[in-house]
Amino acid sequence: MQIKRYVASSIKDAVTRVKSDLGENAVILHTRRFRERSLLGLGGVRKVEILAGVEQDEKKLLSVEKELAELKKLLQKFNNGQGQEGMGGLPAAARQTYCQLLDAGIREDIIQEVLMEFTGKVDSTLLQKKILQNLPPARVPKPPKRGGMVIAVVGPSGSGKTSVLMRLAARFNIVEGVAVGLITTDNHRVAATEQFENYGEALGLPVEVALTPRQFKRSLEVFKDKKVILVDTAGRNPFQTHEMRRLEDSLPRDCVDELLLVLSLNTREDDLFSYAQKYRQLEFDGYVFTKLDESQNRGSIINLTWCRPEYLSYMTRGQNVLEGLEVINPQKILEEILGDE
């Protein structure tokens, strides 16, 4: 992606320069207002900074609609005489909280939304409540009292799907003491099937390989006495239509009770948004976030799930199979961001 920085006296001027320079397909990556100090360090002139980029790759263009919507909201505020974006429009007592949230990677529009009602010092408890009410519920799949359930994981290559599945298998089988069966539909990676069978053997759990919808349904019949059936899938390229079609064909959605999207937090946020948008065609139910120990950007969890219907499920840290899988606790994440003990 070609990225350029533009500084102007107003948002309209900056956007005009972006369109003139990069064209109509330009994506607004970041906006902020600041005061450019004079030579003597006194006073200063208000300026607007915009980072914009242009990319012809389909994966990058998926974020255009989201960025344009944010820009439209920004321009609307400006036209209404409310163009004090960033810290300039906040009371001094709220600016420390603003910086904390911004440093955690939370989007500026979300920060403005949750802080706009504070006229003085920000109450941490009330702030958390305002954020939590806009996040989806946190829950984990629970097998029914009668019968069993099928849980499948999907996600891009390298997101940690197989690792998540093995941690879920250990959790259900060892911790909760329920019978578990494992199915893999991954014939995309070299030796993927053999690796999966080795994992199953290490955990002492039966494994079925299902490379076609017919084999998948037969494997479900083999495991009809299991309380939980866990299904691994290939890491297809979600930006290739034929790849997603293969994934859909290998995983009959009507046979899956819970479909979890696995995303790695050490992935760029615009890619996370693109992945989520593409995988929504599979109608996934909830999120699993991996590699929290490799990323400090907790804000991506909030940005990605803000006002979304999909629920928050699990997150993973480190390599420990049993202890490395945690149920997502949105309040705990907020406490980490805000520095609460």
Q: What is the CATH number of the domain that holds 290?
A: 3.40.50.300
**Does residue 139 lie within any of the structural domains?**
no
> Does the residue 141 lie in any domain?
no
- pLDDT average, residue stretch 73-92: 52
Q: What is the pLDDT of residue 341?
A: 42
CB 32 within 8 A of CB 85: yes
Q: What is the pLDDT of residue 260?
A: 97
1 and 34 both lie in a single domain: yes
Residue 81 banded pLDDT, cuts 50, 70, 90: very low
Q: Do 180 and 328 share a domain, yes or no?
A: yes
Helices (H) and strands (E) in the chain, counts: 13, 11
Range from 30-39, 77-86, 147-156, 237-246 that averages highest in pLDDT? 147-156
CA–CA distance, 307 with 323 (Å, rounded to integer): 30
Instruction: Determine the Cα–Cα distance for residues 144 and 140; give it in Å rounded to an integer.
Output: 12
Residue 236's pLDDT is what? 83
Structurally, the chain folds into a number of domains equal to 3
| pTM across the whole model | 0.71
**Domain shared by 195 and 219, yes or no:** yes
pLDDT at 125: 87
Nearest-angstrom CA–CA distance, 21 and 18: 5
Span 149-156, average pLDDT: 96
Q: Are 289 and 265 in contact (CB under 8 A)?
A: yes
Residues linked to residue 49 through DSSP beta bridges, in sequence order: 7, 32
Say whether pLDDT at 235 is over 80: yes
Greater confidence (70 vs 324) lies with 324
Please give the pLDDT value at position 89. Answer: 60
Residue 20 lies in a domain: yes
Do 117 and 209 belong to one domain? no
Question: Which one has a higher pLDDT value, 43 or 240?
Answer: 240
Per-residue confidence (pLDDT) for residue 257, from 0 to 100: 95
Confidence of residue 42 (pLDDT cuts 50, 70, 90): low
Q: Is the pLDDT at 58 greater than 50, yes or no?
A: no
Please report the pLDDT score of residue 285 as a whole number: 95
pLDDT at 63: 56
The CA–CA distances, whole Å, from 266 to 92, 133, 269, 300, 318 equal 33, 26, 9, 10, 13
Give the confidence band of 50 by pLDDT, cuts at 50, 70, 90. Answer: confident
Compute the mean pLDDT over every residue in the chain, rounded to the nearest whole number. Answer: 82
Using the predicted structure, report yes or no on whether residue 221 has a pLDDT greater than 70: yes
Q: Is the pLDDT of residue 41 over 50?
A: no
Q: Is residue 144 part of a domain?
A: no
**Distance between CA 330 and CA 136 in Å, rounded?**
9
Match 């199979």 to its residue by tokens.
321
Q: 160-174, 232-246, 260-274: which has the minimum mean pLDDT? A: 232-246
CB atoms within 10 A of CB 171: 19
- For 116, the token pair is 């706009």
Across 4-22, average pLDDT? 82
Range of the domain at 175: 149-338
- Burial class of 44 by CB neighbour count within 10 A (0 to 12, 13 to 18, 19+): exposed
**Residue 308: inside a domain, yes or no?**
yes
Q: What pLDDT does 39 receive?
A: 47
Q: Are residues 127 and 262 in the same domain?
A: no
Which of 9-23, 170-184, 271-285 is least confident? 9-23
Q: Give yes or no: residues 200 and 311 share one domain.
A: yes
> Each residue of 91-149: pLDDT tens digit?
677 888 888 888 888 988 898 888 887 877 888 888 889 999 999 988 999 998 888 99
Q: Is the pLDDT of residue 59 over 50?
A: no
In a domain, 276, yes or no: yes
- 249 in the same domain as 156: yes
Say yes or no: 185 and 285 in one domain. yes
What pLDDT shows up at residue 296?
Answer: 75
Is 324 found in the same domain as 203? yes
Indicate if 126 and 156 belong to the same structural domain.
no
What's the pLDDT at 289? 95
In three-state secondary structure terms, 148 is coil
Same domain, 199 and 234: yes
| Residue 80 located in a structural domain | yes
Question: How far from 60 is each of 90, 279, 300, 307, CA to CA, in Å?
Answer: 32, 16, 17, 23
How much is the pLDDT for 46? 76
Residues 261-287: what's their mean pLDDT? Answer: 93
pLDDT of 47 over the 60 cut? yes
Do 75 and 221 fall into the same domain?
no
User: 140 lies in a domain?
Assistant: no
Q: What confidence score (pLDDT) does residue 80 get?
A: 44
What is the full DSSP assignment across 176-217?
S---EEEEE---SSTTHHHHHHHHHHHHT--EEE--SHHHHH
Q: Using CA atoms of 78, 82, 86, 87 in order, give the dihedral in degrees to the nearest 10.
A: 150
Identify the CA nearest to 89 among candidates 66, 112, 61: 112
Q: What are phi and psi of 260, to 5 degrees?
A: -110, 130
